[in-house]
Protein backbone atom coordinates (compact mmCIF):
# COMPACT_ATOMS: atom_id res chain seq x y z
CA UNK A 1 0.00 0.00 0.00
CA UNK A 2 2.85 2.39 0.81
CA UNK A 3 4.44 1.89 -2.62
CA UNK A 4 1.15 2.81 -4.31
CA UNK A 5 1.10 6.08 -2.40
CA UNK A 6 4.68 6.83 -3.46
CA UNK A 7 3.83 6.06 -7.08
CA UNK A 8 0.74 8.29 -6.91
CA UNK A 9 2.81 11.06 -5.32
CA UNK A 10 5.50 10.75 -8.00
CA UNK A 11 2.94 10.88 -10.80
CA UNK A 12 1.33 13.95 -9.21
CA UNK A 13 4.72 15.66 -8.84
CA UNK A 14 5.62 14.99 -12.47
CA UNK A 15 2.23 16.27 -13.64
CA UNK A 16 2.65 19.40 -11.54
CA UNK A 17 6.11 19.96 -12.98
CA UNK A 18 4.81 19.69 -16.53
CA UNK A 19 1.97 22.08 -15.73
CA UNK A 20 4.16 24.72 -14.10
CA UNK A 21 7.21 24.67 -16.40
CA UNK A 22 5.43 26.30 -19.36
CA UNK A 23 3.99 28.93 -17.02
CA UNK A 24 7.44 29.75 -15.69
CA UNK A 25 8.42 30.71 -19.23
CA UNK A 26 5.44 33.08 -19.49
CA UNK A 27 3.02 30.72 -21.24
CA UNK A 28 -0.43 30.11 -19.79
CA UNK A 29 -0.85 26.48 -18.89
CA UNK A 30 -4.56 26.40 -19.60
CA UNK A 31 -7.04 29.13 -20.20
CA UNK A 32 -10.68 28.29 -20.69
CA UNK A 33 -14.19 28.96 -19.46
CA UNK A 34 -15.83 25.81 -18.11
CA UNK A 35 -19.31 27.22 -18.51
CA UNK A 36 -19.09 27.41 -22.29
CA UNK A 37 -17.45 30.78 -22.85
CA UNK A 38 -13.81 31.44 -23.18
CA UNK A 39 -12.80 34.43 -25.18
CA UNK A 40 -13.39 38.10 -24.75
CA UNK A 41 -13.59 40.32 -27.80
CA UNK A 42 -14.63 43.96 -27.77
CA UNK A 43 -15.99 43.60 -24.24
CA UNK A 44 -18.28 40.71 -25.16
CA UNK A 45 -18.02 37.06 -24.21
CA UNK A 46 -18.67 34.20 -26.59
CA UNK A 47 -22.34 33.68 -27.41
CA UNK A 48 -22.31 30.36 -25.53
CA UNK A 49 -20.85 31.81 -22.31
CA UNK A 50 -22.96 31.06 -19.24
CA UNK A 51 -23.95 33.16 -16.24
CA UNK A 52 -21.50 33.06 -13.36
CA UNK A 53 -22.82 31.62 -10.09
CA UNK A 54 -23.16 34.86 -8.13
CA UNK A 55 -25.85 33.80 -5.62
CA UNK A 56 -23.37 33.56 -2.76
CA UNK A 57 -22.49 35.64 0.26
CA UNK A 58 -19.04 34.96 1.67
CA UNK A 59 -17.19 36.41 4.65
CA UNK A 60 -14.02 38.42 4.28
CA UNK A 61 -11.09 38.15 6.70
CA UNK A 62 -12.78 40.63 9.05
CA UNK A 63 -16.00 38.61 9.13
CA UNK A 64 -17.91 41.09 6.98
CA UNK A 65 -20.31 39.64 4.40
CA UNK A 66 -19.58 40.10 0.69
CA UNK A 67 -22.60 39.47 -1.55
CA UNK A 68 -21.41 38.57 -5.03
CA UNK A 69 -24.77 39.28 -6.66
CA UNK A 70 -24.52 42.87 -5.42
CA UNK A 71 -21.31 43.27 -7.46
CA UNK A 72 -23.09 42.63 -10.77
CA UNK A 73 -22.58 45.66 -12.99
CA UNK A 74 -18.84 45.56 -12.37
CA UNK A 75 -16.16 43.49 -14.02
CA UNK A 76 -15.17 40.90 -11.42
CA UNK A 77 -11.76 39.26 -11.26
CA UNK A 78 -12.25 36.32 -8.88
CA UNK A 79 -9.02 34.61 -7.88
CA UNK A 80 -8.90 31.29 -6.00
CA UNK A 81 -5.60 31.07 -4.09
CA UNK A 82 -3.89 29.94 -0.86
CA UNK A 83 -1.11 31.33 1.33
CA UNK A 84 1.11 28.31 0.56
CA UNK A 85 0.72 28.67 -3.23
CA UNK A 86 3.91 29.91 -4.91
CA UNK A 87 2.34 30.97 -8.23
CA UNK A 88 -0.37 32.82 -6.28
CA UNK A 89 2.35 34.98 -4.71
CA UNK A 90 3.44 35.99 -8.21
CA UNK A 91 -0.06 36.99 -9.34
CA UNK A 92 -1.35 38.79 -6.23
CA UNK A 93 0.83 41.91 -6.67
CA UNK A 94 -0.60 42.25 -10.20
CA UNK A 95 -4.13 42.06 -8.79
CA UNK A 96 -3.25 44.75 -6.22
CA UNK A 97 -2.06 46.96 -9.08
CA UNK A 98 -5.16 46.23 -11.21
CA UNK A 99 -7.49 47.03 -8.29
CA UNK A 100 -5.70 50.32 -7.65
CA UNK A 101 -5.64 51.30 -11.31
CA UNK A 102 -9.13 50.22 -12.42
CA UNK A 103 -11.40 50.36 -9.37
CA UNK A 104 -12.93 53.64 -10.55
CA UNK A 105 -13.60 52.05 -13.95
CA UNK A 106 -15.67 49.27 -12.38
CA UNK A 107 -13.15 46.49 -11.77
CA UNK A 108 -13.67 44.51 -8.57
CA UNK A 109 -10.89 42.12 -7.58
CA UNK A 110 -11.81 39.38 -5.10
CA UNK A 111 -9.43 36.85 -3.62
CA UNK A 112 -10.82 33.59 -2.25
CA UNK A 113 -8.40 31.70 -0.01
CA UNK A 114 -9.52 28.11 -0.42
CA UNK A 115 -8.18 26.59 2.79
CA UNK A 116 -6.73 29.26 5.07
CA UNK A 117 -8.25 30.73 8.22
CA UNK A 118 -8.67 34.50 8.61
CA UNK A 119 -5.77 34.40 11.09
CA UNK A 120 -3.53 32.93 8.37
CA UNK A 121 -4.75 35.29 5.65
CA UNK A 122 -4.38 38.58 7.57
CA UNK A 123 -0.55 38.64 7.80
CA UNK A 124 -0.32 37.48 4.18
CA UNK A 125 -2.66 40.29 3.07
CA UNK A 126 -0.63 42.80 5.07
CA UNK A 127 2.68 41.57 3.62
CA UNK A 128 1.38 41.86 0.05
CA UNK A 129 -0.48 45.12 0.79
CA UNK A 130 -3.70 43.64 -0.59
CA UNK A 131 -6.23 46.37 -1.35
CA UNK A 132 -9.18 44.17 -2.30
CA UNK A 133 -11.47 41.86 -0.31
CA UNK A 134 -9.86 38.60 0.78
CA UNK A 135 -12.66 36.07 1.17
CA UNK A 136 -12.54 32.99 3.36
CA UNK A 137 -13.27 29.84 1.37
CA UNK A 138 -12.47 27.41 4.17
CA UNK A 139 -15.61 25.36 4.73
CA UNK A 140 -17.27 26.79 1.61
CA UNK A 141 -16.93 23.83 -0.70
CA UNK A 142 -20.36 24.76 -2.10
CA UNK A 143 -18.87 27.94 -3.55
CA UNK A 144 -15.76 26.21 -4.84
CA UNK A 145 -17.85 23.49 -6.48
CA UNK A 146 -20.09 26.10 -8.14
CA UNK A 147 -17.02 27.42 -9.97
CA UNK A 148 -15.18 24.12 -10.18
CA UNK A 149 -13.95 21.71 -10.23
CA UNK A 150 -10.90 23.53 -8.91
CA UNK A 151 -8.08 21.04 -9.30
CA UNK A 152 -5.18 23.32 -8.50
CA UNK A 153 -4.22 26.87 -7.68
CA UNK A 154 -4.28 29.59 -8.73
CA UNK A 155 -7.52 29.76 -10.70
CA UNK A 156 -8.87 33.11 -11.89
CA UNK A 157 -12.33 33.83 -13.29
CA UNK A 158 -13.34 36.95 -15.21
CA UNK A 159 -17.01 37.88 -14.90
CA UNK A 160 -18.46 40.55 -17.21
CA UNK A 161 -20.66 43.40 -16.04
CA UNK A 162 -23.79 41.45 -17.04
CA UNK A 163 -22.76 38.51 -14.84
CA UNK A 164 -21.46 36.32 -17.65
CA UNK A 165 -18.46 34.12 -16.92
CA UNK A 166 -16.18 35.13 -19.79
CA UNK A 167 -12.77 33.68 -19.06
CA UNK A 168 -10.97 31.27 -16.74
CA UNK A 169 -7.23 30.95 -16.17
CA UNK A 170 -6.28 27.60 -14.64
CA UNK A 171 -2.79 27.88 -13.23
CA UNK A 172 -0.60 30.93 -13.40
CA UNK A 173 -1.17 33.34 -16.25
CA UNK A 174 0.96 36.22 -17.39
CA UNK A 175 0.37 39.79 -16.34
CA UNK A 176 -0.20 40.63 -20.00
CA UNK A 177 -2.96 38.01 -20.32
CA UNK A 178 -4.75 39.43 -17.30
CA UNK A 179 -4.32 42.95 -18.65
CA UNK A 180 -5.76 41.92 -22.02
CA UNK A 181 -8.84 40.41 -20.37
CA UNK A 182 -9.38 43.47 -18.15
CA UNK A 183 -9.02 45.84 -21.10
CA UNK A 184 -11.51 43.83 -23.15
CA UNK A 185 -14.14 43.80 -20.38
CA UNK A 186 -13.80 47.37 -19.16
Tens digits of per-residue pLDDT, 13-40?
455 444 444 444 333 333 333 433 444 5
Q: Provide CB contacts within 8 A for 146, sequence distance 6+.
A: 53, 56
pLDDT(52) > 60? yes
pLDDT at position 133 is 98
pLDDT at position 5 is 59
**pLDDT mean over 124-128:** 98
pLDDT(78) > 60? yes
Taking CB atoms within 8 Å and a gap of at least 24, the contacts of 70-74 are 71/108, 71/110, 72/161, 72/162, 72/163, 73/106, 73/161, 74/106, 74/107, 74/108, 74/161
Residue 63, classified by CB atoms within 10 Å of its CB into exposed (0-12), middle (13-18) or buried (19+), is: exposed
Contact present, 121 and 83 (Cβ < 8 Å): yes
The reply to whether the predicted model has a pTM over 0.85 is no
What structural domains and CATH numbers belong to the chain? Answer: 29-185 (3.40.30.10)
pLDDT(127) > 60? yes
Residue among 20, 6, 25, 181 nearest 107 (CA): 181
pLDDT at position 116 is 97
**pLDDT mean over 75-81:** 98
Q: From the CA atom positions of the chain, what is the Rg in Å?
A: 16
Q: 88-120, pLDDT tens digit by residue?
A: 999 999 999 999 999 999 999 999 999 999 999
pLDDT(177) > 90? yes
pLDDT at position 166 is 94
pLDDT at position 79 is 98
**pLDDT mean over 70-76:** 98
pLDDT(163) > 50? yes
Amino acid sequence: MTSRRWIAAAVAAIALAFLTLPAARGVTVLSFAPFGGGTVQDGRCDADAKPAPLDFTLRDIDGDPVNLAALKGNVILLNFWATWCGPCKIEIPWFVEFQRRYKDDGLVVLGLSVDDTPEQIRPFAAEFQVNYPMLVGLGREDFQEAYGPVWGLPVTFFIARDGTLCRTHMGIATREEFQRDIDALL
